[in-house]
Chain A
């Protein structure tokens, strides 16, 4: 157990020999894992149907069913659980076969405690990455669907900010729209920022994040560079912002505005995350364009309504 008393991960061991269970348990419990055991494949599959495990360690040769069947069943029915095969009859054939079926690793018996721990940790790392990727994929697709399911400009703006903040688990996000007539960036919507911070005023697009308008690429500004790169560096520090990532919202060749992501601690976005962010920004820009087009027609309607002479307005109301 670690300091919080939570196990590092839960592991199910399948083996028909009691002595193997004992030694695996001794080694891995010491490393902070929670261990469950099953003597037979059927019993193990029943357990898996009831509990969720992070890793399954299975023997190959057992009297009831082969460990190969366990690997196959887990890969099919519990894709977010990792399986490792260990065997006293290690062969190239069974090693390759088990991995083709979905095992993450293959460990010949006997093994040293270090070998077992290392293999377990590596497998756990893979499982975690897979789960994380899956979660992000789901969050992303929900976010994209959400921003496309509305034509209400304020709602689309709000959804862009909230989605991106929850997708990347950051402090906050905002959308700044580029106002062409006076070349300023105006905050159109935000999520997770304080009123105080918001009152800092508009940004001159020629100065602040001007890099974006030159390179059309994302710009990451870290705390050490706030003074040289931000309009209001002190405000950002007071707000507890450690870095700001700005991503251009591009439509064809023009820049509609900027999507900003505020992190409370220094946050590094890897290539994959950056790719996802750019994709989200592109979809966001399309959704914004559509919502703006809709909004414009609505505004035209309101404009016309203002100019309706009294008698006609009464006539139209009567007709409705």
Chain B
């Protein structure tokens, strides 16, 4: 069976409304459940997996407002559309305050209904994705904060960003000591060949912009003049690249990049999110580096001592 576009619960005391909504939306490949009473709808909601509730406001018994409130209590993510036919301004305002996202006036045409449902499904997806990003980011951040091992920190970052941004792959590059070459220190979802294509010259435009603390978005990596290795990008089937700087205490230390396999526009919210992600992980990288430095210092000192004693033939 083909995957349905969404699962919708319809609540109305009029059978004719339920029948017509079912017919219209089932034709559009939505899964529909109908109920004529609020109590019944509450029971049905418990089977789970519903995306949208379409409800009348005025019904005998438990009215639409009460039903909607109780259902949002059970599933706060449910997107509620209300029918407005005989409803009053007051009840419509109340429904909006309770969390309804839109309304449709009865009678409606099939196009009006499917158009609205599609729009609500899109808004819902955007909202849930935003939350997915926030939740996943919180988990990744915890994992990153739990270690001071530089390799582990870098690996967690590149794996995490692929998961959280739902992209093909990612790279994390750090500036070398002279601050003129970016070298890839960790990557995920990309081939070794692509990653080893060569150092990125930080004076080339893509890198340069990143080094100035700005983010760079490249829609088509095969033709964009800012890309240093377009052929390699094509062979790797990379379509779009988003690059953000890693900044610690106002100083750029490297770049975090995500790669997509299809041309993709990142919303402003997504771009801002990645920027914030980079900001937070940059601190973790800096901490892990400091720790590594102090470890090195310790080991050098220990070796010096060892050599000193060994030379004298004490061991």
Residues on A close to B: CB < 8 A?
90-93, 95-96, 99-100, 105-106, 108, 145, 148-149, 151, 282-283, 286-287, 289-290, 293-294, 297-298, 300-301, 304-305, 307-309, 312, 316
Contact = CB atoms under 8 A, between A and B. Distances in A.
Interface in B69-103: 84, 87-89, 92-93, 96-97, 100-103
B145 A312 contact: no
B294 A95 contact: no
Contacts of B102: 96, 100
A92 B87 contact: yes
B296 to A, nearest CB: 10
B283 interface: yes
Contact of B294 (A287, A297, A316): A297
Contacts of A92: 84, 87-89, 92, 103, 105
B105 A93 contact: yes
A314 to B, nearest CB: 12
B305 A308 contact: yes
A260 B286 CA distance: 29
B136 interface: no
Contacts of A293: 148, 291
Nearest to A287: B145
A280 B208 CA distance: 37
Given A145-B279, A305-B301, A312-B304, 20 more contacts: A90-B89, A91-B89, A93-B84, A95-B89, A96-B100, A105-B93, A105-B97, A106-B89, A145-B283, A148-B283, A151-B291, A286-B142, A286-B145, A290-B291, A294-B148, A294-B290, A297-B295, A304-B305, A308-B305, A312-B308
A96 B283 CA distance: 45
Contact of B89 (A108, A300, A301): A108
Contacts of A151: 287, 290-291
Q: Is the interface of B mostly helix, strand, loop or mixed?
A: helix
A309 B89 contact: no
Contacts of A316: 304
A96 B103 contact: yes
Contacts of A294: 148, 290-291, 294
A304 B298 contact: yes
B283 A149 contact: yes
Nearest to B279: A145
A300 B295 CA distance: 10
A71 to B, nearest CB: 13
B176 interface: no
A307 B305 contact: yes
Contact of A297 (B287, B291, B305): B291
B93 A290 contact: no
B308 A309 contact: yes
A282 B142 contact: yes
Nearest to B146: A286
B108 to A, nearest CB: 13
Contacts, number: 86
Given A92-B87, A286-B142, A297-B295, A304 B283 contact: no
A100 B146 CA distance: 42
Residue from B87, B142, B308 with most neighbouring chain A CB atoms (10 Å): B308
B99 to A, nearest CB: 11
A25 to B, nearest CB: 25
A301 to B, nearest CB: 5
A305 B84 CA distance: 80
30 contacts: A92-B87, A92-B103, A93-B105, A96-B96, A96-B103, A99-B97, A106-B89, A106-B93, A145-B280, A148-B145, A148-B280, A148-B284, A151-B287, A287-B145, A290-B145, A290-B287, A290-B291, A294-B148, A294-B290, A294-B291, A294-B294, A297-B294, A297-B298, A298-B294, A300-B298, A301-B298, A301-B301, A304-B298, A312-B305, A316-B304
A293 B148 CA distance: 9
Interface in B276-293: 279-280, 283-284, 286-287, 290-291
B287 A148 contact: yes
Given A294-B290, A297-B298, A301-B294, A96 B84 contact: yes
B297 A301 contact: yes
A298 B296 CA distance: 11
B283 A290 contact: no
Nearest to A308: B305
A308 B303 CA distance: 12
Contacts of A96: 84, 92-93, 96, 100, 102-103
Nearest to B86: A92
Contacts of A145: 279-280, 283
Contacts of B283: 145, 148-149
A194 to B, nearest CB: 33
A316 B279 CA distance: 38
A151 B280 CA distance: 15
Contacts of B105: 92-93
Contacts of A283: 145
B272 interface: no
B302 interface: yes
Contacts of B298: 297, 300-301, 304
Contacts of B142: 282, 286
A288 to B, nearest CB: 11
A293 B304 CA distance: 23
A312 B280 CA distance: 42
B301 A99 contact: no
